[in-house]
Amino acid sequence: MSKKLIDLRNISKSYNGQLVLDDLNLYIRENEFLTLLGPSGCGKTTTLRILGGFETPDSGNVIFDGQDITKLPPNKRQLNTVFQKYALFTHMTIAENIAFGLKIKNKSKSYIDDKIKYALKLVNLDGFENRMPDSLSGGQQQRIAIARAIVNEPKVLLLDEPLGALDLKLRQDMQYELIRLKNELGITFIYVTHDQEEALTMSDTIVVMNQGYIQQIGTPETIYNEPENAFVADFIGESNIISSTMIEDRLVEILGTKFPCVDTGFGNNTPVDVVIRPEDVVLTRPENGVIKGVVTHLIFKGVHYEMEVTANGYEWLVHSTGMYPVGTEVGINVDPFNIQIMNKPASEDEEAAKIDE
């Protein structure tokens, strides 16, 4: 494993008496692509701004490579930030924009020229030195903003919703660009987004946040396939989240019907939440299903059909390559491995509360 580069310890932050971060603890490894993911107001951008030195926490410490940098101004940190608003200087050429930070550091002209060429090549915009920012598309401007950050050779690149203003196709292209850059440069990327698909596509590690707390930390696969609570399951992808009862180890009662599962350790006759992803619901002939239902809604999504099936009083969301017309009676089966069991939160506060790593 690569070494720990950044350690956020017991970080709390309030604005006007409103707690935004509550005793947050998080570490980030060298050369990791870590994404802070969550809805608006969950504290992800505040976390990024505290890392960049644009905000000071009310309490707690930011440790970078073994040094406490909590009080250090942004220009003294080995971090560079790329914002959603690209913040290019409109009166300067692309070359002057990229060179800005290097000139402040009094680097020589030949060093700066080499760096500009290198950075433009890296973001696939060779020959753009003398263009002005307003002659570039949104995607090109974003790449220039990244080039400007890269030439300063930061150890860490902070990216605050940098693809938010781009259209879908461009955004997907830029996701691949960012993965390539991270692999080529060996820089640690810390990325903020509310877009779950973006997080799943690019990250080594995802930190899911809600109401100032970390809900879960894990790889994209773990976060998607093994959500630790209903918030994570609901936020990452679509889910059927059903109040159920754990009868005993490996047996759960969902909507009055017993389903075998693989989870243990929840006790007997315990109220739980069950998560079943739409693609894991298997439709079959009515007599072959564990429960029976009727298709009430059907949409063609290109890769699959999205259906709603009413069964045992619940609207099941189903993704399938097989098409069952509205009104068709079907059976529902779920592989035991695809039934995720989660503890029910005792209260709303507990639902928002931090999950230990």
Q: Is residue 232 part of a domain?
A: no
- Looking at the structure, do residues 35 and 182 belong to the same domain, yes or no? yes
Strand partners, 158: 81, 190
- Looking at the structure, do residues 121 and 258 belong to the same domain, yes or no? no
Number of Cβ within 10 Å of residue 295's Cβ equals 22
For residue 75, what are the CA distances in angstroms to 80, 84, 105? Answer: 9, 20, 10
Q: Is residue 234 part of a domain?
A: no
CATH of the domain at 315: 2.40.50.140
Q: What is the model's pLDDT at position 167?
A: 78
Q: Is residue 233 part of a domain?
A: no
- Looking at the structure, do residues 126 and 262 belong to the same domain, yes or no? no
DSSP H helices, the chain, are: 44-52, 94-104, 109-122, 138-150, 168-185, 196-202, 220-225, 230-235, 348-352
Q: Is residue 21 part of a domain?
A: yes
- Looking at the structure, do residues 41 and 175 belong to the same domain, yes or no? yes
Domain with 309 in it: 240-352
Q: Is residue 59 part of a domain?
A: yes
Out of 167, 195, 225, a domain closes at 225
- Looking at the structure, do residues 158 and 71 belong to the same domain, yes or no? yes
Out of 199, 225, 251, a domain closes at 225
Q: What is the model's pLDDT at position 171?
A: 82
pTM above 0.85, yes or no: yes
pLDDT in tens for each of the 357 residues of the chain? 678 999 999 999 999 989 999 999 999 999 999 999 999 999 999 999 999 999 999 999 999 999 999 999 998 898 988 876 767 888 999 999 999 888 888 889 999 999 999 889 888 899 999 999 999 988 888 889 888 888 888 899 999 988 877 778 878 888 888 898 888 888 999 999 999 989 999 999 999 999 999 999 999 999 999 999 999 999 998 999 999 999 999 999 999 999 999 999 999 999 999 999 999 999 999 999 999 999 999 999 999 999 999 999 999 999 999 999 999 999 999 999 999 999 987 645 555 554 444
- Looking at the structure, do residues 188 and 272 belong to the same domain, yes or no? no
- Looking at the structure, do residues 278 and 183 belong to the same domain, yes or no? no
Q: Is residue 230 part of a domain?
A: no
Q: What is the model's pLDDT at position 354?
A: 45
CATH of the domain at 131: 3.40.50.300
- Looking at the structure, do residues 173 and 303 belong to the same domain, yes or no? no
Q: What is the model's pLDDT at position 80?
A: 86
Q: Is residue 235 part of a domain?
A: no
- Looking at the structure, do residues 269 and 312 belong to the same domain, yes or no? yes
Alpha carbons 297 and 282: distance in angstroms, whole number: 16
- Looking at the structure, do residues 246 and 194 belong to the same domain, yes or no? no
Q: What is the model's pLDDT at position 72?
A: 95
Number of domains in the chain: 2
- Looking at the structure, do residues 211 and 251 belong to the same domain, yes or no? no
- Looking at the structure, do residues 155 and 126 belong to the same domain, yes or no? yes
Q: Is residue 171 part of a domain?
A: yes
Q: What is the model's pLDDT at position 353?
A: 52
Q: What is the model's pLDDT at position 346?
A: 64
